[in-house]
Copies of this chain bind each other. A is one copy, B any other.
Amino acid sequence: LDDLLQESLLSSASGYSNYRGILNWCVIMLVLSNARLFLENLLKYGILVDPIQVISLFLKDPYRWPAACLVIASNIFIMIALYTERRLSVGAIGENVGIIIHSINLSTVLFFPVATLLMVNSVTPVGGVLALAVYTILFLKLYSYKDVNKWCREIHLSPTVSAFISDMYYFVFAPTLCYELNFPRSPRIRKRFLLRRLFEMLFFMQLLVGLIQQWMVPTIQNSMKPFQDMDYSRMIERLLKLAVPNHFIWLIFFYWFFHSSLNFVAELMQFGDREFYRDWWNSETITYFWQNWNIPVHKWCLRHFYKPMLKRGMSKWVGQTAVFLISAFFHEYLVSVPLKMFRLWAFMGMMAQLPLAWLVGRVFQGNYGNAAVWISLIIGQPIAVLMYVHDYYVLHYGGEEPAAPVLLS
């Protein structure tokens, strides 16, 4: 006969704290809930995935490839940057002339595709985003290229390596935005690693397209009516419904791009520095998230924008705000131009990160901070997506609900 006093485990007095099984519970509940949503979606809509239709995302007119032509034309700007640096390195032109040529070249890199996209009608929104993304990356790379070469000349280091075209194109294709004279190189290409990343790239690409067609598009279409009627409780319901596929798609995109694709390219080029992301999933502040989820951009901002600003005597706070400002500019640039619709939702979404970061940092600590970061990601993105889609529908269809998926037709 047991004669001891004993508290229940869930009483605080018991001092018990092993809830390892709860994590499994969470995962199972998530899988089961989403399995049901998936089945309901299939029963309601049938199979919407259509690989042929995907082609129409990229091509409006099969005889004209404006986005591809834009990407090919970008070689001109690479050549101009390389030629300018060659002339500067031998002293054939002065530093000031160099700055002027680079400035004109970089401005053209930014605004030449904008002008083209706005004038040419046969570009689809997806084709436009891809072309602009290539030009944005090129802008950041060429900016870094000119900076590093200038710094080398300042310390009288002869940057002979940079004079070769092969060296320039290694940098253009390498998974980094920051130029260096000698990149860290991995000793060999691991074939098994390469094949695994290639398989992931292909698989997650298919999965992304499938999820968007099967899950995202019908949900967005069902959201248009509540948003036109300004039916608030239905709007919130639709927003939460959209948040789940949107978030999964973003997570898969993150893995597909930052892990599979960049590692594939790096392995192929024996590029040694694979730090494309850090542990942003443990972020306890908004700032930590932005500093860790996209390391190539973060490193570029730090090296070519934030630190030079501090050197010129700006305060840290002004520097941070400026970084968010150019980030907001590029977010807006990549969305507004392809949609040919200037609404500033993306710009404001990025700028809203500053007061949000301040608020989260003051109010939430530790795990609560981490939860706040997740919520801002899960809820923030679909708000911006719905804003743009809503305005796009209203603009192109005058508030009338279209019968077929507009973005895909």
A interface vs B, CB < 8 Å? 1-11, 16, 18-30, 32-33, 35-36, 39-40, 42-43, 180-182, 184, 186, 233-234, 236-237, 240-241, 243-244, 247, 255, 258-259, 262-263, 272-279, 281-283, 367, 370-371, 374-375, 378-379
Contacts and interface: CB of A to CB of B under 8 A. Distances in A.
B24 A23 contact: no
A281 B25 contact: yes
B39 A5 contact: no
A279 B240 contact: no
A180 B4 CA distance: 13
A3 B184 contact: yes
Residue of A16, A186, A273, A277 with highest tally of chain B CB at under 10 A: A273
A21 B374 contact: yes
Q: Quickly give the copy total for this chain.
A: 2
Given A36-B240, A39-B240, A374-B28, A22 B281 contact: yes
Nearest to A231: B43
A378 B184 contact: no
Contacts of A5: 184, 186, 272-274
B371 A9 contact: no
A277 B23 CA distance: 20
A25 B281 CA distance: 8
Given A28-B371, A39-B236, A263 B11 contact: yes
Which 5 residue pairs are nearest across A and B when measured between Cβ atoms? A26-B26, A36-B240, A21-B281, A21-B282, A5-B272
Nearest to A9: B279
A27 B28 contact: no
A330 B43 CA distance: 39
B374 A25 contact: yes
Nearest to A1: B180
Q: Which of A10, A40, A258 has the most CB of B within 10 A?
A: A10
B259 A8 contact: yes
Given A9-B278, A18-B279, 7 more contacts: A4-B272, A9-B279, A21-B281, A26-B26, A29-B247, A32-B375, A39-B236
Nearest to A243: B32
Nearest to A375: B28
A257 to B, nearest CB: 12
Contacts of A273: 2, 4-6
Contacts of A263: 8, 11
B281 A19 contact: yes
Contacts of A255: 10
A234 B29 CA distance: 19
